[in-house]
Structure 1
Amino acid sequence: MSEQPGQQAKKPFLYIVVCGSGIAGDVGRLIGAAQEAGWGVGVVATPQGLSFIDAEAIEAQTGYPIRSAWRSPTAPQPLPAPDAIAVVPATFNTINKWAAGISDTLALGILCESYGLGTPTAALPYVNSAQATHPAYAESLRKLRAMGILIGSYEPHRPKAGGGADRFNWEEALDLLTPAVATKQ
């Protein structure tokens, strides 16, 4: 982005879509890393994702309210438009619904619309190995990649074990998105 003399560059804005997962409570790690890298950040949570996060702490960290439900048409827009979106952690349910074009939550509505808007989007899956073997999952990842969605490299964890949180690379979302946003500007 080129700056005119005396003008300050606009800070890029990142939406982090948080899904219902045992590791979702660590989303502050990604928020902090994004802010350190110069991003403004807003969080959009799936309805299930809300129960896995500390909303008050996230709102204090971002300076914005968490979005989880549609607003009325006359209500003000609580977040700036995103320059990029990170779906982290991306659950089995969200990945499959998103790839199928299902828009039954605000988070999925934003994700489905972002494709048409050309918003750079990355997803870091967090699924167990039994879910990962389901044919719909592989097909959904293929569809999302074909749409230009950047998919992270997380290895599925054992079923009923949770786990893998220590290996989950939150910052990979920024690694995937930063070049995509830079080429768009």
Structure 2
Amino acid sequence: MTTLYLFGSAAPPVFEVADVISDAQQRGWDVCLGLTPSAARWLEKDVPELERLTDHPVRSEYKLPGQPDVWPKADVILLAPATFNTINQWALGITSTFVVGVVAEGIGKRIPTVAMPCVNAAYAQHPQFDTSVETLRTAGVTVLYGAGGFEPNQPGERLPYPWRLALDAVAGRTA
């Protein structure tokens, strides 16, 4: 069975993560859910159900030295939704959070990784964002951004998040 690390940061599509987990499990994947600290706070009341659904603890913090790993080894990683902050931290190697630390290390471990941002058009205009996306792509990460991926919405606008594109890209990276 393929183990998928599904990581999410604090953007509105993270509230749909239970459905995404179910879709991934229907594809035959064992899902481990990791959240940025803010996303974990947003989903705090849902964590028991998410742990039941995945049969794994939901993680948002690094384990302490000497503690055993509680997840199986990842075969593939999906980071979605990935906020402006998360994408930039990752590309710059700033691993102050568990999720960013794992995906940053995943590049060096050559774990197939897909990321799909969730940023509004105002954030997307910041010059660092395009640089960060290109840095991650150059490192071998499939970044679903722009035509054929996530396209920025206007600030405050809520559009459907293309989760199916993300799961299809994960399937393509594990084929």
TM-score, L = length of structure 2: 0.92
1:76-110 superposed Cα distances (whole Å, 9 cap, x missing partner) = 21111110000010100000000011111111110
Unaligned segments of structure 1, at least 5 residues: 1-10
Q: How many residues are paired up?
A: 169
Distance 2:48 2:71 in 1: 16
Determine the C-alpha separation between the residues in 2 that align with 1:112 and 1:125.
16
RMSD over aligned CA atoms reads 1.1
Given the alignment of the two structures, is residue 158 of structure 1 paired with residue 154 of structure 2, yes or no?
Answer: yes
Q: Which residue of 2 aligns with 1:181?
A: 174
1:132-153 superposed Cα distances (whole Å, 9 cap, x missing partner): 1111011111111111111121
Distance (Å, rounded) in 2 between the aligned partners of 1:30 and 1:23: 10
Runs of 4+ displaced beyond 3 Å: none
Report the more deviating stretch, 26-35 or 90-99: 26-35
State the SS of the aligned residue for 1:40.
Answer: strand
Aligned pairs (5 A) from 1:15-164: 15-53=5-43, 54-152=46-144, 153-159=149-155, 161-164=156-159
**Higher CA-based Rg:** 1
Question: Cα–Cα, structure 1 residues 162 and 57, in superposed 2: closer, same or farther, change >3 Å?
Answer: farther
Of 13, 17, 21 in structure 1, the residue corresponding to residue 3 of structure 2 is: 13
Hey, which of these two has a bigger chunk of helix by percent? 2
Residue 4 of structure 1 corresponds to none
Secondary structure of the structure 1 residue equivalent to 2:114: strand
Distance 2:113 2:162 in 1: 16
The share of aligned pairs that are identical, in percent, is 36
Listed one character per residue, the Cα deviations across residues 13-45 of structure 1 (whole Å, up to 9, x for unaligned) are: 000111011221111121111100000000111
Is 1:172 the equivalent of 2:145? no
Are the counterparts in 2 of residues 29 and 170 from structure 1 also a CA contact under 8 Å? Answer: no
